[in-house]
Amino acid sequence: MTFKRTIIASVIIAATASFAFAGSHGGNPAVKARKAHMQLYAHNLGILGAMAKGETEYSADAASAAANNLVALANMSGMSYWAPGTSNAELGEETRALPAIWEAGSKAGEIAGQLREGAAALAAVAGNGQEALGPALGPVGGACAACHKDYRQSNN
Amino acid sequence: MTFKRTIIASVIIAATASFAFAGSHGGNPAVKARKAHMQLYAHNLGILGAMAKGETEYSADAASAAANNLVALANMSGMSYWAPGTSNAELGEETRALPAIWEAGSKAGEIAGQLREGAAALAAVAGNGQEALGPALGPVGGACAACHKDYRQSNN
């Protein structure tokens, strides 16, 4: 290993090691990543939902930022998170992802497309005023609910 | 409230409620969101680091997907996560974010810019072969390390 390669390896190790924050230890990496991804959907959707319902003051900047974050999240690649072999049939209670996600006829990919479209439409109007948020959140929330209904283990 | 508005509100409530997955309860929302964001950096950086070090087989598709995810993450708005009043001086052990992030002379924003540039340069070459990864990961890891060094409470 050359000196340059040693430096590069050290930087990579330092960077990855520095991410070992509390709460990140153990568990399936794909499950942890997709839960983090869902957490960020929830965070940004929560900001927009609260503004839509009038629970928090509308801010065009904050609404646009949250909607653009949803667009970014919806367009990220999930290929490493949604790996075959990571359903609740294989991993148990660590995840609520049902095997149907990966089975023939799965509409999970199609619903993900609806989420991307819904998020883009939401981002296009999120800065236009509080009244624009509710109607534009409908299709986004619908995609969330559709996927959870058929592809996530119910808590009941 | 009209029928249409009732429907919209119901969809929003259903969508946000459906995100209440295990592990997301309690805690400061900004802290939870930024930890999720960091988790996604770690996940994608881990994939690239393992390929760069030869621990996992190189895949142009997987490398590009991970690098593009880093670009998306680095370009997301952090305005709702990095809210003033959410340092470890205010929130205690829930977070390791130091007050210096928000103080005059903070270089956190500048380092975030370096991360955006590094991620873009990485994404531009990630599909070009295993050898391209190490050098391109250097600036990304450097930005991670620089921010953690000065703006995150040490565990020591």
Condensed to tens digits (0 to 9), the pLDDT of residues B60-88 reads 999 999 999 999 999 999 999 999 999 99
Q: What is the pLDDT of residue B155?
A: 86
SS3 content of chain B, % helix, strand, coil (to 5): 70, 0, 30
Beta bridge mates, A152: A97
Asked if ipTM goes beyond 0.85, one says yes
- Scanning B32-71 for CB atoms below 8 A from A yields 32-33, 35-47, 49, 52-53, 61-62, 65-66, 68-69
Please judge whether B65 and A77 are an interchain contact, meaning their C-beta atoms are less than 8 angstroms apart.
yes
What are B63-66's contacts with CB under 8 Å, separation 24+? B63/B126, B63/B127, B63/B133, B64/B123, B64/B126, B64/B127, B65/A77, B65/A79, B65/A80, B66/A77, B66/A80, B66/B126
Domains of chain B: 2-151 (1.20.120.10)
Please judge whether B15 and A73 are an interchain contact, meaning their C-beta atoms are less than 8 angstroms apart.
no
pLDDT tens digits for range B52-63: 999 999 999 999
Please judge whether A12 and B38 are an interchain contact, meaning their C-beta atoms are less than 8 angstroms apart.
no
Q: What is the pLDDT of residue A4?
A: 55
Is a pLDDT exceeding 70 seen at residue B131? yes
B15 CB within 8 Å of a chain A CB:
yes
A102-138 burial: b if 16+ Cβ within 10 Å, else e: beeeeebeebbebbbebbbbbbebbbeebebbbbbbb
Is a pLDDT exceeding 50 seen at residue B18? no
**Where do we find the tokens 């052990």?**
B93
The one-character DSSP state at A128 is: G
Angle subtended at Cα B65 by Cα B16 and Cα B124, rounded to the nearest 5 degrees: 130
pTM assigned to the model: 0.88
Is a pLDDT exceeding 90 seen at residue A91? yes
B79 CB within 8 Å of a chain A CB:
yes
Three-state DSSP class for residue A33: helix
Closest CA to A40 of A76, A15, A83: A76
- Scanning A89-118 for CB atoms below 8 A from B yields 96
Q: H or E element: which one contains A137? A: helix A130-151
B74 CB within 8 Å of a chain A CB:
no
Angle subtended at Cα A123 by Cα A32 and Cα B78, rounded to the nearest 5 degrees: 50
Q: Which residues lie closer than 8 Å to A25 by C-beta, 6 or more apart?
A: none
Please judge whether B134 and A8 are an interchain contact, meaning their C-beta atoms are less than 8 angstroms apart.
yes
Please judge whether A79 and B61 are an interchain contact, meaning their C-beta atoms are less than 8 angstroms apart.
yes
Please judge whether A40 and B40 are an interchain contact, meaning their C-beta atoms are less than 8 angstroms apart.
yes
Residue in B15, B42, B75 nearest the CB of A140: B15
Chain A hits for B52, CB-CB cut-off 8 Å, are 8-9, 12
